[in-house]
Homo-oligomer: A and B are copies of this chain.
Amino acid sequence: MLRLTPPDYTTISEAKSFIANYGGAEANVLVSLSHLGHDTVFLSRVPDNQLGSSAIMHLKRHGVNTDYILRGSSNLGMYFVETGFGGRPSKVLYNRAHSAITRIGEDDLDYDEIFSNAEWFHMSGITLALHERVRAVAFKCLEACRKYGVKVSFDFNYRSKLWTIEEAKPYFQKVIEYVDVLFANFFDINTMLEIQSDPLLETNEEKRNYVAKKLMEKTNVQYVFGTDRIVHTATDNSLSSYCIRKDGSVFKEGPIRFSIYDRIGGGDAFSSGIIHGLLKDFDHPKFALKFGLATSVLKHTLYGDASVMSEDEVLEFIKTNGNAAVQR
């Protein structure tokens, strides 16, 4: 998607120009993973015009393999971001109906070629919301992952502007059967997957741990990851991260309080950091949790939807607790 952002904290209404960059949940995860040293492949469909080419060139620039991106139709998804400041919130305005990806066909991809050598597949719930044709392709991908033993991570990202809870539920419940690593909060598991909580539990954290554990008992999900965010102001947040392992162990990191330069893509950066950590050591999530949180915090200091931090830069942040002395 093309993101258009007024410069200098201007509102959309007052904007005389927009900064252009390209983003999207899965694309952001891939760009970040690419900068962390991984080979990445993006699956999508973009228009066969200059905007589609520009989106592809953006991905190529960041080392993402674009060989499987389909071309066609004329609309690229777009969204406008009004960057908040202090007590004035950031606002996102979508303009993505009828975009090129909604015209994708189930047989447009060679699933065997793509997935036979893959290691990991990441998907966002936003993708499922776009169109029945997109969902069909998504489940073909998930089947291919099962066939070739590719690990699957999934981030709910439920957006009420795109579909209702009732519309989303059956697809989320179906997806979960394929997932190894889940990015989810209490609402996602309790409401979307209909895992009941224990009425005696009081804090949101206890409830989340409870339903996450219950979910993992009856599915193949190995981990539930997520973050808790406290919004002090639009430019000042705190973030902590949590992980519930299938065995019920709970891990936590943070909170870290930080200044925000660009809020968009913070969650995708977290996912990318977790995946990077788990690819190093799938069984011990402590490092992944720390790395994911650090990657997310650093992403907030960078303009653009995706982290472009190298592994060394994230590790340096962890080592120095983000004290950020000048590096000469």
- Measured CB to CB, the closest approach of chain B to A235, in angstroms, equals 6
- Asked if A63 lies at the interface with its beta carbon under 8 angstroms from chain B, I say yes
* Cα–Cα distance between A258 and B303 once the two chains are bound (Å): 23
Specify which of A58, A78, A308, A328 lies most central, judged by the most chain B CB atoms within 10 Å of its CB: A328
- Measured CB to CB, the closest approach of chain B to A207, in angstroms, equals 21
Chain copies in complex: 6
Chain A 82-100 against B: per-residue CB contact (8 Å), 1 yes, 0 no?
A: 1011111111111101100
B12 touches A87 (CB 8 A): no
Chain B residues within an 8 Å CB radius of A263: 326
3 residue pairs, one from A and one from B, having the closest CB atoms = A87-B322, A61-B61, A234-B324
| 10 pairs from A and B in contact (CB 8 Å cutoff) | A13-B50, A14-B54, A15-B20, A57-B63, A84-B324, A86-B301, A87-B317, A88-B317, A90-B324, A90-B326
Interface residue ranges, A against B (CB under 8 Å): 4, 7-21, 49-51, 53-54, 57-58, 60-63, 74-76, 78, 80, 82, 84-95, 97-98, 159, 161, 231-236, 256, 258-261, 263, 297-298, 300-304, 308, 313, 316-317, 322-328
